Amino acid sequence: MDRNTLIGLLLMFGIIAGSFYLMKPSDVEIKKEQALQDSLARVKKGLAPLTDSTKTNGQIVTTQPAQTADSATLKLPFGATKFGTEKIITLENDKIIAKISSKGGRVKSVQLKGETNFNGKPLLLFEGDDNKFGLKFNVAGQAINTNDLYFTSEDADVKITGEDSKSIKLKLNYGADQYIEYVYTLKGHGYNLGLDINTKGIQNKIDQKSIDLDWETILLQKEQNIASERQKSTIYYKEGDNVDHLSEAKDEEKELKEKVVWIAFKQHYFSNILSSKTGFTSTKVDVKSTKEEGVIKLYSSTAQLDYATQRDNNYSLSFFFGPNQYKTLKAEGHDFHKIINMGWGPMRWINQFITVPVFDFLDGFNMSYGIVILILTLLLKLVLSPLTYKSYLSMAKMRVLKPQLDEIKAKVGEDNAVLLQQEQMKLYKTAGVNPLGGCLPLVLQMPFTIAFFYFFPNLFELRGESFLFMKDMSTYDTLFSFAPIFGVLNHVSLMCVLMTLTTLLTTWYNNSTSGATGQMKYIGYIMPLIFFFVLNSFPAGLNYYYFLSAILTFLTQLIIRSMVNDDKILAKLESNKKNPKVQKKSTFQSRMEEAMRQAQQNKK
């Protein structure tokens, strides 16, 4: 290749690279395109496009164009109900403030009293047109959706206290003594809003034997870590006797075959749950993710309500608008508590039957949650201390045998790995040492460690609770922040740093006491560094527990080491070599020796 050709190729590459750089869309253009795509997705779901929306206090408020009545529309079924003026009725008790709209007869917004968003503003589960709820059916060939129609009501705002309850009625009129009625009932205490739907005098007007109940909601950001909030939000449902859920990591749509008892639009720490006394049939649930700023996910469900054409119909429903607090959901019954992810298998059993009861007991003393976690960690370490002692004792045995293992290595050489392992296993057998003795106790402790990995990130009680330098133990604390690296890492958590440092200290001490060499010595240092990047964005409460656990493990090992005499251990192992009963092979040792014998023969 001559010089001119080379220069030409370089110029061509330069022009191409420059064009990519110069023609690259700006961040503003990228956001506009993303907003357009999100708006199109909302339109497909029947929601107002974002271009027609404004945001108030972080909530999307969609403006609707005014409609003008015309004679042709008025003659259609429910035609007169397509025009009207929206009226808002407020129901309030000690827990929630629910605003009911005459347009659609739906719950327009729900505020949880005593709770705030991460930015300190009042916590609204949803607001405005972000919540759609209505019956869909056909009358005289016309498709009807009650969400778009205007109900009438004579009720006014009401605040309920004590054991009292209050009901309000909204009617969707069809004709004289022909209507659909919504009756909302709120008690003076609790998170439940009852809804009775009555159809009166229209049984022969509806064309089918079932009515579709359509419920759609857009849930907005409430926590500091929106990525974590999205990962822990999805639709749960109870189908028959089983509680299941859609994917938390991807979009999913599912048609449920059995009767559904309830449907939960779950956000990380809060849920909207709709239940039915008679159950829903032919239910479809759908969850969609979005990258729209401040929006967690888009939920929708469609279920059938059996409709009898020979009589008036009644449907008894109930909404739960409240926190994903284990004891609160457990008290509600209906397996609501199963929407909280407590882990799987043994980890769920540990959390459900050990961790939660102990935590609730300690919580009853009204202590700081930082102190509660400290006591919980101390109790756990105390219960597991026998396993810790056995693990350390096994490592001590390996440590005192190290000079003899080195002699075997020098005698056999490292070229014949199979023979070297055979001689080492022979030494372990004669000395009565199980080479896995130090690992098994640690393995038995792992389910508890993993169980807490699920417990703390889903613990509602930590939300908004501060301790030491941690302003909110339910999310990460920030030592300092910076521009995103790889689009993910944009801060450093001080508690995560402290947890990592204490874990490295414990690893160093274990290596020095066990005499670990080679790759095993360095793996112990690599794992805490990896976990730093994994746990950096996890709740400070979880990292605080791991920090305490590492500190207590280190202190426990110091105490145990002061109780263990290496000379006495070595003397005991030497006496074992003369005791045939001790030299009896374990099942593991027999299998290991057989495997090595086969490997040696194959090598020959």
Instruction: Report the pLDDT value the prediction gives residue 29, as an integer from 0 to 100.
Output: 52
Mean per-residue pLDDT, 548-562: 85
Closest residue by Cα to residue 374 from 541, 556, 506 = 541
Q: Residue 50 pLDDT more than 50?
A: no
Confidence band of 372 (pLDDT split at 50, 70, 90): very high
Q: Does residue 424 have a pLDDT over 90?
A: no
E strands, 117-163, where?
A: 122-126, 131-139, 142-145, 158-159
Contacts of 410 (CB under 8 A, 6+ apart): none
Pick the range with the lowest mean pLDDT from 25-39, 110-124, 130-144, 474-488.
25-39
Give yes or no for residue 564 having a pLDDT over 80.
Answer: no
Tell me, what's the pLDDT at 440?
Answer: 64
Please state, as a whole number, how many other Cβ atoms lie within 10 Å of the Cβ of residue 254: 17
The yes-or-no verdict on residue 432 having pLDDT over 70 is: no
Please state the rounded mean pLDDT for residues 456-465: 93
Residue 21: which pLDDT band, with cuts at 50, 70 and 90? very low
Between 4 and 449, where is the model more confident?
A: 449
Percent of residues, the chain, with pLDDT higher than 90? 42
pLDDT higher than threshold 50 for residue 178: yes
* Residue 106 pLDDT grade (very low, low, confident, very high; cuts 50, 70, 90): very high
Average pLDDT over residues 145-168: 88
Sheet with 107-116: list strands edge to edge.
122-126, 107-116, 96-101, 88-92, 158-159
Contact 169, 153 (CB under 8 A): yes
Q: Whole-angstrom Cα distance, residue 312 to residue 333?
A: 30
323-351: average pLDDT: 92
pLDDT at 595: 57
Specify the DSSP class assigned to residue 470.
Answer: B
In the predicted structure, residue 53 carries a pLDDT above the cut 50: no
Please choose, from the candidates 315, 253, 307, the residue with its C-alpha nearest in 3D space to the C-alpha of residue 284.
Answer: 253
| Across 190-210, average pLDDT | 87
State the DSSP H helix or E strand holding residue 296, giving kind and residue range, or none if neither.
strand 295-306
Q: Check pLDDT > 70 for residue 276.
A: yes
pLDDT tens digits along 286-324: 999 988 889 999 999 999 998 887 788 899 999 999 999
* Mean pLDDT, all residues of the chain: 80
* CA–CA dist 96, 123 (Å, integer): 10
| Distance in angstroms (rounded) separating the CA atoms of residues 320 and 216 | 15
pLDDT at 557: 79
Which pair of tokens denotes residue 510?
Answer: 């274990």
Question: What confidence score (pLDDT) does residue 361 get?
Answer: 93
Phi and psi dihedrals of 551, rounded to 5?
A: -65, -45
CA distances from 420 to 244, 387, 466 (A): 52, 30, 56
Q: Is 240 left (phi over 0), alpha (psi -120 to 50) or beta?
A: left
Task: Say how many C-beta atoms besides its own lie within 10 A of residue 526's C-beta.
Answer: 11
Q: What does the alpha-carbon distance between residue 415 and residue 418 come to, in Å, rounded to a whole number?
A: 9
Interhelix angle 369-400/566-576, nearest 10 degrees = 50
Q: Which residue has the tokens 């020959």?
A: 604
With 0.75 as the threshold, say if the pTM is over it: yes
Task: Give the pairing of strands 122-126 and 107-116.
Answer: antiparallel
Q: What is the mean pLDDT of residues 369-377?
A: 94
DSSP bridge partners of 111: 97, 124
Residue with the bigger pLDDT between 119 and 426: it is 119
- Distance in angstroms (rounded) separating the CA atoms of residues 214 and 274: 12
Note the pLDDT of residue 490. Answer: 81
pLDDT at 582 over 60: no
Between 68 and 376, the higher pLDDT residue? 376
pLDDT-derived band at 415, boundaries 50, 70, 90: low
Greatest mean pLDDT among 75-89, 93-107, 137-151 lies in: 93-107
Tokens of 393: 């004792």
Q: Residue 12's pLDDT band (boundaries 50, 70, 90)?
A: low
Q: Which of 100, 80, 83 is nearest to 176 (CA)?
A: 80
In contact, 307 and 314? CB cutoff 8 Å: no
The residue ranking higher by pLDDT, 177 or 372, is: 372
Q: Is 560 left (phi over 0), alpha (psi -120 to 50) or beta?
A: alpha
Residue 418 has pLDDT above 80, yes or no: no
What separation, in Å, do the N-terminal and C-terminal C-alpha atoms of the chain show? 56
